Chains A and B, each alone.
Chain A
Amino acid sequence: MTPDAFRSFADSLPEGMLLVSGDGTILAANVRLAECLQQAPEALVGTPLAALSLDGGEATRLLDEWSRNSPLPPGTLTVRVGGEPTRFRAEGTVLEHVAQGGDRQLLVRLIPKQGPEQDPELDEQLLALTEDRKRAEAERAGSAQRWQFLANASTALGSSLDVDQVLRTIARLSVPALADWCTVDMLEADGSVRRVAVTHADPTKRDLVDMAATYPPDPQGKHPRTSVLRSGRSLLFAEFPDESLPQMAADERHLAALRSLAYRSAMIVAIKARGRTLGALTFATAESGRRYGPDDLALVEDLAHRAALAVDNARLYAEAQEANRVKDEFLATVSHELRTPLSSMMNWIALLRQGKIGPEQVSRGLEVLQRSGEAQARLIDDILDVSRIVSGRLRLQPQPVELSDVVRDAVDTVRPAADAKRVRLEVVDEAAGTRVLGDPARLQQVVWNLLANGVKFTPEGGRVSVLVERKAQETRIVVTDTGEGIAPEFLPFVFDRFRQAERVANRGHTGLGLGLAIVKHLVEAHGGSVEAQSEGRGSGATFVVRLPLVPPR
């Protein structure tokens, strides 16, 4: 205790008190004692207790006795007060927190012998003071424990980029330091709630824990966690009313489990990052009887904030890894796709140079060389287009364009491939004469890509059709095929760069999966939109391009 702290409480006491260091030096004296001794309180500071006493030996013996005995036996000190030797009863108390380490300090009460030996009121006040001091000590210790907990939690949060592992560590650290029971629930992308971790201080409640773990809150339920997940605002239940349990329980069995867990107090805090609620931490007490207060809530909110940052980091990392993986896969596909026509060309060159084939096969070889070369050139054009799109360097050269011309040119270009595969190509033009403002080469690229895509995914004997129609505000180009269709789970990604490559490489389709990404960008650059529809695998696909009649400025 500092002399100031001593004075702040001891000055208000109606009895004389001293704060004495272990070696017997007076560190402070209160006003009452100074009055009693007819001196200024400051005058006593720094002098040995023995110097205060008329008989120095008396004080030395008392201090010696106090150093060897606990509790401290009361003694007698004779002090000169205004020339008169006055006997005082001396009662000493060792300050507990200093007793635990560091310098020993004594609180010494000096009671005039002729006065009342015991003052019950005074004792009560002293007791209250000791209680206060103990509570302050406990709070200090609690606060140290909290800092330690947060430090441990931060270390755990920084130790892994695996979200679930991080959250399980948090739950483990929280019990029993913060709670008798802790659960972590995360919101999934589809809005469902996934229980990531459950820990309980009492291993005999393992079964109940397992039981409760099989009852993650449903997103529409009445469990208070549901409202935390929805609103992102924390909830503190200082005292858990038993009546609230039926509202939280999914069924009778669950309710029985909740009852046996005997909740007393609980806190639920949201794990929030960048304004989005990612999940919730739930802390509850039962057998420990601990009651949560605002301090506890502040602590777990701090914890949830740190957890949110860790989860967010881990997610960003996983996304970056995924983007990298897709890119690596794309490069492997580019290499494969460029090698395939190249390989065909090299085989034909070897055959032509061998000089043992007839003129008919020679001309067929030259045709293959030309086709393979063109395919490679297209692949390179696509890669360059995507590169331009990504860096925002793709420029359009807009002019009034008749859509019928665009579609006809695209159909002519794709017809040889359709014929070779015996896929029927149909054109229905209901918008003859309709003009849009656009880059004719790029619009033709859009239609050609959609048609080529349709032919590629349509088996022999199938059909690819293109319909051009004019609506009030827009023209539509609808390309429909009778091909293998698009699985519903893949539909949202058909326009993503690189995506097709990973899906179809093993099904024997060629191409980089860039065509539709380029289509989407080009259509949007024309102020339009493109949409893919499919009833699923095996039922064909439809692509609808919408272009404005009067393009936006």
Chain B
Amino acid sequence: MRKAVLIVEDDDSAREALAAFLAAEGYPVSEAANGREALDRLQQEAVGLILLDLMMPVMDGWEFRAVQMRDPMLAAIPVMVITADASARSRANNLGVQGYMTKPIQFPQLLAFVDRYC
């Protein structure tokens, strides 16, 4: 069975559309509104790729990534950062993530990326 794409994004309508889009492309999709919810989802299902927003309430993307990297069960899961903060790129380099994209999403690149990991 294919592993899910976990979408971590606090904007409900943006997340809803992205989830529906990926589902329609045939990928199993899981959703979380912040880093805390994302950690919960990771405990419950097999995730092949995380699409991670950075600026979120409760637990932001930076903190989520730090927690993920400390957990040997989760550290290997590839992450693509998708952020509206155009100035975050240089700082995001330190996160050691597999992909980075500034919103709005460029869908051809996103699909190629998702296809590689899921």
The stretch of A66-74, A297-305, A354-362 that contacts the partner chain:
A354-362
Answer yes or no: A118 CB below 8 A from chain B CBs: no
Q: A335-B86, A506-B55, A507-B57 are in contact. Are A348 and B13 (CB under 8 A)?
A: yes
Answer yes or no: B31 CB below 8 A from chain A CBs: no
A342's partner among B24, B25, B58, B104 (CB-CB below 8 A) is B104
How far in angstroms is the closest Cβ of chain B from A93?
77
Q: Is the interface of B mostly helix, strand, loop or mixed?
A: loop
How far in angstroms is the closest Cβ of chain A from B52?
14
* Contact between chains at B13 and A346 (CB < 8 Å): no
Contact string against A for B residues 98-109, beta-carbon threshold 8 Å, 1 for contact and 0 otherwise: 000011110100
Interface range for A: 20 to 34
Q: Return the chain A residue nearest B33 by Cβ.
A: A508
Answer yes or no: B18 CB below 8 A from chain A CBs: yes
* Contact between chains at A336 and B21 (CB < 8 Å): no
Residues in B with CB closer than 8 Å to A361 are 20
B11's partner among A340, A350, A507 (CB-CB below 8 A) is A340
Question: Which residues of A in the span 496-524 have a Cβ within 8 Å of any Cβ on B?
Answer: 505-509
B13's partner among A336, A344, A357, A507 (CB-CB below 8 A) is A344
* Contact between chains at B11 and A356 (CB < 8 Å): no
Q: Is the interface of A mostly helix, strand, loop or mixed?
A: helix
Contact string against B for A residues 339-352, beta-carbon threshold 8 Å, 1 for contact and 0 otherwise: 11011111110110
Q: A351-B21, A354-B21, A354-B24 are in contact. Are A343 and B14 (CB under 8 A)?
A: yes
Answer yes or no: B1 CB below 8 A from chain A CBs: no
Answer yes or no: B84 CB below 8 A from chain A CBs: yes
Answer yes or no: A211 CB below 8 A from chain B CBs: no
The tally of residues in B whose CB lies under 8 Å from a CB in A reads: 25
* Contact between chains at B17 and A347 (CB < 8 Å): yes
Answer yes or no: A248 CB below 8 A from chain B CBs: no
Q: Return the chain A residue nearest B107 by Cβ.
A: A350
Residues in A with CB closer than 8 Å to B10 are 508
Chain B interface (Cβ < 8 Å from any Cβ of A): 10-11, 13-14, 17-18, 20-21, 24-25, 34, 55-58, 60, 84-87, 102-105, 107
In the complex, 26 of the A-B residue pairs with CB atoms within 8 angstroms, ordered by the A residue number, are A332-B85, A339-B86, A339-B103, A340-B84, A342-B104, A343-B84, A343-B103, A343-B104, A344-B11, A344-B17, A345-B104, A347-B105, A350-B105, A351-B17, A351-B18, A351-B21, A351-B24, A354-B21, A357-B20, A368-B13, A371-B13, A505-B55, A506-B55, A507-B57, A508-B34, A508-B55
